[in-house]
Amino acid sequence: RTSFVVAESKGMQSTLRIGELTIDYTQHLVKRGVEDMILTPVEYRLFAYLARNVGRILTHDQLLEHVWGSEYLGESHMLQVNVNRLRHKIEPNPAQPRYLLTKIGVGYTLVDSQPTQSAS
DSSP assignment of 14-67 equals EEEEETTEEEETTTTEEEETTEEE---HHHHHHHHHHHHTTTS-EEHHHHHHHH
Q: Across residues 52-64, what is the average pLDDT? A: 96
Q: Across residues 66-88, what is the average pLDDT? A: 95
Dump pLDDT digits (tens) for 13-41. 689 999 999 999 999 999 999 999 999 99
Separation CA 58–CA 63 (nearest Å) = 7
Give the length of the chain: 120
Separation CA 117–CA 104 (nearest Å) = 30
Name 102's bridge partners. 108
Q: At 2, which amino acid appears? A: T
Write down the domain spans for the chain: 3-110
CATH class of residue range 3-110: mainly alpha
CA distances from 109 to 35, 49, 61 (A): 23, 10, 13
Which of 6-20, 40-54, 74-88 has the weakest average pLDDT?
6-20
Separation CA 22–CA 116 (nearest Å) = 17
